[in-house]
Structure 1
């Protein structure tokens, strides 16, 4: 189900990599309202390189996050792909740790994310519980007449 997506992401990223690349790393931080894509490109001569992320990579990660949702467990907050020539692409997914957005996202962003991808109480990490509580309080204050 997700294999065709990860294969497509890896292929599109490989095709977009600059000539002479030795390693491509892409870290994606995600919520239902915001995505951040951080790349690190190492060329064979040791220099850093640049890459323009194709729409297939961005859209692929968005779809992957939705498809990887597990009822009660949630979905990932960050994902990483590492490409090295001649080696199978390496994907890792973070379902629980704070991805440490910079600048920080508004707490209601996480409220929306938890509404879209619900988690059972035991699968809501403390950092997320805190942000959702802040977001809920801010919404309550906004909706309460002065």
Structure 2
């Protein structure tokens, strides 16, 4: 709750807020929105610590018979000061459907990938009576499997020389940011070499959603290394072209790292 309060802190017009997290195998997403008095929605930047807390909660709640929940939500009401958690243990999750302000025409029932559900059961086994019928059918192969490809695009991406995004090119002369740049390259290569549903799909086709999952897998360790460390984060923020001050250091450094990750992945796959 304390971290949720920190996320809401910069927004003085919120009335209610909802935080939703979903995790299936190695794939996951988080959606954070607040409602204003006029009914409009606002979004919040999710800090790495908050995501870590959800992951820890999920592992603590995992049960040898029931497995782990697929999605969970935290609802907060400002007027009453109340909050409540809810958990989905059995219903199939589609990441796009968790986004309340996404245009229905943009909803894509692609993630999590079918393969992620098999991975989920391997990570958090369930006794037969706790495996929903739809999940049993999915892992039994009743859903059409993707055909494996030769992985040429992935190998080219791994071998490609990384470059700086034009908007962040001025950071290339900084020793601190050069360290970040090199770490970004290493994490992207590590994420591309990992055996995950996203990389499995990329061996068949260059899919935007799979690239987003690779970016997320690479970004997590980078934020823990460079943003969660207060001293490191402050030093990096001070070297940005337009720093917003100590209070926004985490946001500024996160934005810059995200820009570098997104650019490198896009250029590696010529997107």
- Structure 1 length-normalised TM: 0.79
Task: Show CA shifts across 1:79-117 (max 9, x none).
Answer: 011011133321000111112343232222111110110
* 1:134 Cα offset (Å): 2.5
Aligned: 1:126 with 2:133: yes
Q: Give the equivalent residue in structure 2 for 1:90.
A: 84
Q: Give, in angstroms, the shift of residue 41 of structure 1.
A: 1.2
Residue number in structure 2 paired with 1:15 = 6
Equivalent residue, structure 2, for 1:106: 113
Normalized per residue, the structure richer in helix is: 2
Q: Are residues 1:62 and 2:45 paired? A: no
Aligned residue for 1:134, secondary structure, equals coil
CA RMSD in angstroms, aligned pairs only? 2.3
Contact 1:81 1:91 in 2 (8 A): yes
Greater RCO (Cα-Cα under 8 Å, separation 6 or more): 1
Deviations 1:24-66, CA, capped at 9 Å, x for gaps? 1112111131111122211234332221011121111111111
**Higher strand content, 1 or 2:** 1
CA distance in 2, matches of 1:104, 1:62: 19
| Structure of higher CA gyration radius | 2
Conservation of the 8 A alpha-carbon contact between 1:107 and 1:134? no
Q: Identify the residue that residue 26 of structure 2 maps to in structure 1.
A: 33
Paired residues, number: 132
Matched with 1:52 is 45
Structure 2 residue ranges without an equivalent (≥5):
96-108, 149-271
Off by >6 Å, runs of 4+ in structure 1: none
Whether contact under 8 Å (1:41, 1:49) holds in the other structure is yes
> Distance between the aligned counterparts of 2:142 and 2:25, measured in 1?
15
